[in-house]
Amino acid sequence: MHEHNLKTGGLDPTIFNYWYLKSVGIDANSPIMKKARDWIISKGGIESSQTMTKFKLAIFGHFPWSKLWYVPMFIFKKGGLYSYTYMKDITAQWVYPHLTALAYLRYHKTVFNHGADIFELWVNPPASIENDPVEVTEVPHDDILNLVQEMLKLR
């Protein structure tokens, strides 16, 4: 990496690139990884990343779901008491598909195999990241069934 490349950059892609490099076996103590980590920390660390980055990190167990906004399920219902908030009618066409997926993932606190730990990219790390998925042991609530139907319509 050339020195001039370090003067600019984006926090979010740098976090993902650091995570990738660490996941494929690049030593976190190597000079280049240390430089990247120091740069990430100087920009505010994981805490300063964008919301979409935090959602992606939560999906892989690197950010607490509890620190992300909860999407209320009623906004996906058409008609009834909350019909004025039907999101499909009041958002840009590209927002709705993303919002439905994020609502579903956030509701279930979905966590996949998270690969290399990147806890060192926090400026003020939480004591732990508890991302226990919601255990589905019964028939899903009508709101979740409605959300899944909305997602299927978007295919």
62 vs 146, residue with greater confidence: 62
Please tell me the pTM assigned to this model: 0.75
Pairwise CA distance, residues 102 & 9, whole Å = 27
Q: Looking at the chain, how many residues does it have?
A: 155
pLDDT-derived band at 84 (thresholds 50, 70, 90) equals very low
3-153 placed in CATH 3.40.50.300: no
Q: Where are the domains of the chain?
A: 3-153
Burial class (CB in 10 A: 0-12, 13-18, 19+), 21: middle
